[in-house]
Every structure is written in structure tokens, then in C-alpha cells.
A and B are shown apart, each in its own frame.
Chain A
């Protein structure tokens, strides 16, 4: 039985917020389980392993990014506050080195903002940043090779921008393969990897619950029923994960 859902084989472009989410997850959930003297070495090794897991689905064995986005990676929190400045720079440098970086194309970014009919809320002041758009442009460039490209991000504005760009007629005239570029929430891709048996279910469940808790921890949900929203989304995540596990086990020929 084929594994249902997304095809994972694609060029991958990784946004900084994905790296931040993973590093924060390590600090909050895993760091305390490591021997005190080995935490930073363990962190580097763990980050490398997570990125290797998704790298195996790429046709060029690269995780793409732009230099400006890679430079945004700045791990924060109590765990990293223990580091001396040069050690922190070492950690940053290590994580950035896991990415294949190219320079942002500022001319094309400016051209996108000037496209006719461009949604102002999305591309105007307060909308997506130039750094975000540099990933979208990189995605369009990579798609010219004729293979699918996934931009993995947790930024709603970037996801919406990529969807708008890939269907825009001016962009299609410039990049005929623009339709191969796709924005995906990073957790959607990680869950697809989980369904392909490359991430264990307890780890996936923990990452999803962590992301949900972080999401609601960050937001001031004025005028919304926060408790109900959290409960609803948690239930939906668990329900979906159960279905995903069933698909995963069926693909392996096992029963739940």
C-alpha cells in the first residue's frame, strides 16, 4: 500500500524559524537529559541529525537557504546564555554551515513588490520581509531545473506569498516552472517524514505538542477563546496523528 499524502522528494529551502523551532525544542525538552559537559556537542550533533533526516529526500543532498536568512539564526534562551560569546558564535556557525547558502537577489525582490495587483497587505509595509522574499525567489530559481521545490517555513506570510507568486501570470512568464514551487509548513513536512518511518511517533507527537504550546505561549489571543482553541487543536493533532500512524503501520504491513 503506498504511503498516502505528500511526495517528500523535492529540493528543500529551510527558513530560519524552522531552525529556531528545532533548537528551542532541544533546549526545552532534551538538553536537561544530556550530561552537563556534553550539552553543546550533543546539540550540534542533534541538529545535524534532524537536518540529515530531511536532507535524504532532496535530489541534490542540499538544504538551501539565502545568506541573509541563515544569518538570522540566533539561538536564545537560558541554555545558550550559559555560553561564552565565541562558543555561541561557534554554535551559530555550525548550524549555518549545515545549509547551502546563496546571496539574496534584491533586484528580483523589488520587482515582485512592484507587480501589478500584488496584495498590499502581504507585500506592502508590514507584510513579508525582503529576507522572506529572498527564499521565495530562490524557490522560483531552483524550480527552473524542473523538479519540485518545497520552502519549509512556519511563517504564514511567506506561505501565502509563495502561493500567490506561483500562480501569478507575470511570474509564470518569467519562471515557467513556478508552479513547482510550494510553500509548506515545516511541521507538515516533518509529519510526512514521520509517515515514511524516518521519525519515530513519540518524537513527532512531542514536537507537535511542543509547537502548539509555543504557538499559544507567544500569542495574545484577544477576543478569542484561547482555552477552547488549544483544546480543539490538541485534539485534532492527536486524531490526525492516530490516522497517520495507521497509514504508517499499514505501509509496513503491520496492524495498529
Chain B
């Protein structure tokens, strides 16, 4: 876990739980759950080396607005909130949902809040605002929600994979092919030429417009636009390019 190194951090965590948990057994469950989470996080980071993953003690950083742990993956984050499991199985009361809802509302950049029960296999459940609202509106569905708990590694893996799918980016390298790469400049040049020809071949009712289309300096403007394209590909700021294109409009309308 990306926290302060060494055992002092662990001791402080144990000390705090011994003061805040309702009884000795809950203290031990929480201590073990945090250690398991740290081990799991290490393995998760190792398995997803392409992504930049950090796990931080969330409520230590942001206070009550935070969950127990914040998992930062590239530019999105997942929050993890522990729930005690005195009977060794996930349990959750409806009156605990508003606090979870507040947590999500206070952290809009969070893609998911994951409840993690202090069971030996760290059973977990991903919650979204939609899911919370649905259960608050249908209290009898809370049991079916609990039936969807799965071991934390599975929940995290699915969450991360879903983000990758949304971006349509594969983390693995694409195989090299023998197909020649397409020249964007050629494509653009062809498209511009076709567009200008199409404009010039339009039939105009008014003589002035017909004359303007015939006199349009197509080759000159095409050269300018291709130059603007190459500048854009070389990283020239769009504000500069916009100025040039504005000049083009004035010249074209002459």
C-alpha cells in the first residue's frame, strides 16, 4: 500500500481501531481486513503494471468526507469502505445507506464506492448512486443486493476492466501488421479537393455567386489549408491556427 513505510503506520491504525471499534473481536477483524487489503493491493498493483495505482488512507487525508481507503488508478478513483461482519458474512442495514450515499455525493470524481466486509475473504460489493437510490426506493431488495457480494479482487478487476472498455483502450500492445499506415495528409487533401469541386459544380441562380465560385482560388486555398493541417500535426496551438483560418475566410469571400 502506498502509505508511510514500516510498522509505525500499522501500529497507529491498530491503536485507532482499538479505540473506535465496538469490541475486541471487531478490532481484530478490522486489523486483519486492512492487512489483507494491503496484501491484495500489492498483488493488484503488480498484475496491473500498465496502470498507475496508488492506495491511500482516505479519511486520514480528507476527514469524514472520505472512505477508509482511496484507490487512485490513472486519472480515476475508487473508494473502499469497510463494514464489520461480526457473523462472518456480509450484513448491511438500510439505515447505513444514506451515509454511503453522502460519501458518493461528496466525491463526484469517484467511479465507484466498494463496500468491503471484514470477512476472511474480504467480500465486497460495488455501489453506485443509481443502485443506492433503487434500494432506498425498494427496501425489500437489500437482501438481493447482499447476495451480489464477491471477493474484493474480483470486484476490483471488473471495475478496472470496465474503465478500460469505456475508453476503448487496450493495455496490451497491438500486434504489428504488414498493412501500410494511412497518410492523414493525403486523406485530408483528397477530402478538401472533393469538397471544393463539389462547391464549384453547384448550380447557382444568381450570377454573382456563379462568378464567385468560378473565381475561387481553389489551389491556393487548398495549399493554405494543408499548411494549417501540417502545423496542427506539429503541435501549433489551435488559437494560432484559428487566426489563419479566419484570414482564409476573408480572402475566400473577396
Give residues in A with beta carbon < 8 Å to B: 4-7, 119, 121-122, 154-156, 159-160, 163-164, 166-167, 179, 182-185, 187-188, 191-192, 211-212, 215-216, 219, 221, 224, 229, 233, 236-237, 240, 243-244, 247
A-B CB contact pairs (8 Å), 7 listed: A164-B39, A188-B15, A215-B6, A221-B5, A224-B4, A236-B16, A247-B19
Residue of B nearest to A185 (CB): B11
Given A224-B4, A243-B19, decide whether A156 and B39 contact each other with a Cβ distance below 8 A: no
Tell me if A192 and B7 are in contact (CB < 8 A): no
Residue of B nearest to A215 (CB): B8
Query: Which one of A6, A159, A236 contacts B12 once the chains associate, using CB atoms below 8 Å?
Result: A236
Query: Which one of B8, B16, B27 contacts A240 once the chains associate, using CB atoms below 8 Å?
Result: B16
Contacting A at CB under 8 A, from B1-43, are 4-12, 14-16, 18-19, 23-24, 27-28, 31-32, 35-36, 38-39, 42-43
Q: What's the minimum C-beta distance from A15 to chain B, rounded to whole angstroms?
A: 11
Query: Which one of A5, A119, A167 contacts B27 once the chains associate, using CB atoms below 8 Å?
Result: A5
CA distance A211 to B9 in the complex (A): 12
Tell me if B36 and A237 are in contact (CB < 8 A): no
Tell me if A233 and B8 are in contact (CB < 8 A): yes
Query: Which one of B7, B9, B39 contacts A122 once the chains associate, using CB atoms below 8 Å?
Result: B39
Contact with A along B38-51 (1 / 0, CB 8 A): 11001100100000
Residues of B within 8 A of A184 (CB): 14, 31
B interface, over-half SS:
helix
Tell me if A119 and B39 are in contact (CB < 8 A): yes
CA distance A184 to B30 in the complex (A): 12
Residue of B nearest to A150 (CB): B28
CA distance A5 to B6 in the complex (A): 23
CA distance A55 to B11 in the complex (A): 21
Please give 17 more A-B residue pairs, beta carbons under 8 A apart, in addition to A119-B43, A154-B7, A215-B6.
Answer: A4-B19, A121-B42, A121-B43, A159-B7, A160-B35, A163-B35, A167-B36, A183-B35, A185-B10, A187-B15, A188-B18, A221-B5, A224-B4, A233-B4, A233-B9, A236-B12, A237-B12
Tell me if A166 and B32 are in contact (CB < 8 A): yes
Residues of A within 8 A of B4 (CB): 221, 224, 229, 233
Residues of A within 8 A of B27 (CB): 5-6
Q: Does B189 contact A (CB under 8 A)?
A: no
Query: Which one of B7, B9, B24 contacts A6 once the chains associate, using CB atoms below 8 Å?
Result: B24
Q: What's the minimum C-beta distance from A188 to chain B, rounded to whole angstroms?
A: 4
CA distance A255 to B43 in the complex (A): 48
Tell me if A211 and B24 are in contact (CB < 8 A): no
Residue of B nearest to A184 (CB): B14
CA distance A89 to B164 in the complex (A): 62
Residues of B within 8 A of A240 (CB): 12, 15-16, 19
Given A154-B7, A156-B10, A215-B8, decide whether A167 and B120 contact each other with a Cβ distance below 8 A: yes
Tell me if B18 and A5 are in contact (CB < 8 A): yes
Tell me if A6 and B5 are in contact (CB < 8 A): no
Residues of B within 8 A of A221 (CB): 4-5
